[in-house]
Amino acid sequence: MIVKTAQQRTDPAVILDVVAALLESNGYDKWQLDDVAEGARVSLATIYKHFPSRGELTVAALERWMEINAYGPIKSRAPGEPLFDALIRMLRTIFEPWEKHPEMLDAFMRARWAAGGERLRAQGNASVGPMIEAFDGLDPSDAAELDDILKNVTFGALSRYVSGEIRVSEIVPSIERTLSWLKEPTERISRGSGGTRSRSTG
């Protein structure tokens, strides 16, 4: 058994890890600061010293969890790696931890639109830099269009998950189907538009 020193117990990271564990086991609402204090073996005063509110504590815990489990492990597109393969690989890096820990996705989606949630949105935007870099070599207008499509499809899939239409394990496959359609030859687009302008961003 490892006994933490007083300094280790008051490390904010220890407190955040306890909160993350409570979010996963109890859900977004069913835990109290007393539970955090007991799990981290600290006083409520110590918690409030670092995190002035429960909402701040929740957001900080989710930020740390996402950086460790989802955003940090994202690897840039390798030389010669097809764009489609790189994007799906990166999306799987983000979503597979949620597939294993769906309570964390529920907590993330609720916290994202609560007070302080803009920090989670900013962290997400900053952490998907490798996806944007993967567009290098595309025409700038194609890259911007593909970025918009990817954001809209991802947000749509997450919204369908929140509403209960799909399971967390169906999010990436639904995005993959859209990207797969985009990377295929544009004959269907040409036929559907009477032979007018067609373009592939894949």
User: Does one domain contain both 104 and 145?
Assistant: yes
For 35-58, how does the pLDDT look when each residue is reduced to its tens digit (9 = 90+)?
999 999 999 999 999 999 999 999
Residue 153 and residue 120 share a domain? yes
- Residue 184: closest CA among 84, 98, 93: 84
Condensed to tens digits (0 to 9), the pLDDT of residues 67-125 reads 999 999 999 999 999 998 999 999 999 999 999 999 999 999 999 999 999 999 999 98
Q: What is the CATH number of the domain that holds 55?
A: 1.10.10.60
In a domain, 72, yes or no: no
40: nearest Cα among 65, 77, 13, 64? 13
Alpha helices (runs of H) in 27-168, residue ranges in sequence order: 33-40, 44-50, 54-66, 83-100, 102-112, 117-127, 129-133, 140-162
**pLDDT of res. 202:** 38
Same domain, 99 and 140: yes
Structure confidence by residue, pLDDT tens digits, 140-180: 998 888 888 888 999 999 999 999 999 999 999 999 988 88
- Please report the pLDDT score of residue 190 as a whole number: 42
Overall number of domains in the chain:
2
Indicate whether 92 and 138 sit together in one domain: yes
Q: Are 54 and 83 contained in the same domain?
A: no
Residue range of the domain that includes 175:
77-191
pLDDT on residue 197: 40
Within this chain, do residues 91 and 20 fall inside the same structural domain, yes or no?
A: no
